[in-house]
Copies of this chain bind each other. A is one copy, B any other.
Amino acid sequence: MKRHNFSAGPSILPGSVLQKASEAVINFDNGLSLLEISHRSKPFVDVMENARSLALELLGLEGKGYKALFLQGGASTQFFMVALNMLEKRAGYLNTGTWSDKAIKEAKIYDDVYEVASSKDANYNYIPKGFDIPADYDYFHCTSNNTIFGTQMKEFPNSPIPMICDMSSDIFSRKLDFSKFDLIYAGAQKNMGPAGTTLVIVKEDILGKVSRKIPSMMDYKVQISKGSMFNTPPVFAVYTSMLTLEWLKDLGGIAAIEKENDKKAQLIYSEIDLNPLFKGFSAKPDRSTMNATFTLANEDLKETFETMVKEAGINGLNGHRSVGGYRASMYNALPLDSVGVLVDVMSELERKA
């Protein structure tokens, strides 16, 4: 049976990418596995350079003073690494959910953090707007997409200070003026590759302004000077990310995938709005194209619905415990067809009920 993978992350990757990654584990360079060659060998150095330049190219940031790094430790490591490299006195954070909240907590270890706005009052079902960013702070931090709550920032402020964004769950999914941001980070395991590497895009001129000592591994400047190879990089995760970025480029880049993502989002949200058995969780203007969150209007239908979902081959639809209900994660590699199958199940439930 064909599986339809709505996992929130780690999540679906393109079939052709999985095929090539699987082959490289056996034979990548003249009979040797990708896993057993030196990361300083030309074949792997080429992979790393290609991955870094594809990331900048796809975001339209080539030649604009940005560097791309493939690091380790996930966005959770960036939560404190950003502050370690950038927080001297005070930073402003927009709190749009669990991940923003964790970023704030980790930054507070290093110095003062001020929440410019928060949607905690409504269990983060919307994105706060119209807030001020103090011009004398070190930086402003926001989270572009909130997987757990299914909200997404549609517009970004004109920040008077460096703007840093956690784009873990929607990077490479939609056109944005990425040059508005001074530092972007994203764990690979949604739109870019397998868990185990984190993309960091950073404008070099914002670095080197804090007075504290920074461990080499955590110092963006050191990582830049070593081309992401200060130590042995996570070769498999970087290679598979490179394959995924190549797949996206071949498809037509972000402009092309955005159209697909919009179709998928439109399909699921129309069903949520038209089908009286379901209620959307997030505020309409802030609905995420990546993660649609919804609940059953009548909990008595839970068992029936979940059996139907299972029988349709749908995987990973359970909502996060903070919201309950369901979450359809529709990352770049999820085909429109899979959303069609889910919507059919939802309509079928309405007919049955």
Contact = CB atoms under 8 A, between A and B. Distances in A.
Interface in A180-214: 187, 189, 193-197, 213-214
Given A30-B3, A80-B217, A196-B237, A36 B19 contact: no
A131 interface: no
Contacts of A215: 79-80, 106, 109
Contacts of A240: 35
A80 B10 CA distance: 28
Interface residues of A, number: 62
B217 A76 contact: yes
Interface in A13-45: 13, 18-19, 21-23, 25-26, 30-33, 35-39
A10 B38 contact: yes
Interface stretch (A57-65, A67-75, A257-265): A67-75
A178 interface: no
A242 interface: no
A270 interface: no
Interface in A219-273: 230-237, 240
A77 interface: yes
Nearest to A18: B33
Contact of A31 (B3, B7, B8, B217): B3
A315 interface: yes
Given A33-B13, A38-B10, A217-B77, A196 B72 contact: yes
A263 B252 CA distance: 55
A316 interface: yes
Interface in A64-110: 72-77, 79-80, 102, 105-106, 109
Contacts of A73: 72-73, 77, 217, 231
A328 to B, nearest CB: 14
Given A236-B194, A236-B196, A36 B11 contact: yes
Given A32-B5, A315-B32, A235 B10 contact: yes
Contacts of A35: 10, 13, 18, 21, 193-195, 240
A10 B26 contact: no
A128 interface: no
A218 B80 contact: yes
A164 interface: no
Contacts of A37: 7, 10, 315-316
28 contacts: A10-B35, A10-B36, A13-B33, A13-B35, A18-B35, A21-B25, A22-B22, A35-B240, A38-B316, A72-B77, A74-B232, A76-B216, A76-B230, A77-B217, A77-B231, A79-B217, A80-B218, A105-B216, A106-B215, A195-B234, A195-B235, A195-B236, A196-B196, A196-B197, A196-B236, A236-B236, A236-B237, A237-B237
Interface of A: 1, 3, 5, 7-13, 18-19, 21-23, 25-26, 30-33, 35-39, 72-77, 79-80, 102, 105-106, 109, 187, 189, 193-197, 213-218, 230-237, 240, 315-316
